[in-house]
Amino acid sequence: MDQLYFDGMAICGHVGFLNLFITLTCYPNCPKIRRLLSPLNLKPTDRPDIVSRIFKLKYEQMLSNLIRH
């Protein structure tokens, strides 16, 4: 744990300290995921690839929105 802290401080010393901290989550039972899985009679735990793909899309959308503003 100490090494992770020192690594983080070294990175901040090199690129500067953060002024923004964002947390992004993906709710596995969101309507978009349920809409994709319900015709197949599957649960989100049956297809983690779909859940992770939707998370990645939301992540990329959030990043593009941050860059534009």
Q: Give pLDDT < 50 ranges for the chain.
A: none
Q: Is residue 46 part of a domain?
A: yes
pTM over 0.75? The answer is no
Q: pLDDT tens across 48-59, in order? A: 999 999 999 999
Which of 20, 21, 29, 24 lies closest to 58 in space, CA to CA? Answer: 24
Q: Is residue 48 part of a domain?
A: yes
Q: What is the span of the domain harbouring residue 32?
A: 20-68
Cα dihedral 11, 15, 16, 17 in deg (nearest 10): -50
- Distance between CA 58 and CA 13 in Å, rounded? 30
Beta-carbon count within 10 A of 28 CB: 17
Q: Is residue 32 part of a domain?
A: yes
Q: Is residue 35 part of a domain?
A: yes
Domain count, the chain: 1
**Contact 50/33 with Cβ under 8 angstroms?**
yes
pLDDT at 3: 94
pLDDT at 7: 92
Q: Is residue 31 part of a domain?
A: yes
Q: Is residue 47 part of a domain?
A: yes
Q: Is residue 3 part of a domain?
A: no
pLDDT at 43: 93
pLDDT at 39: 94
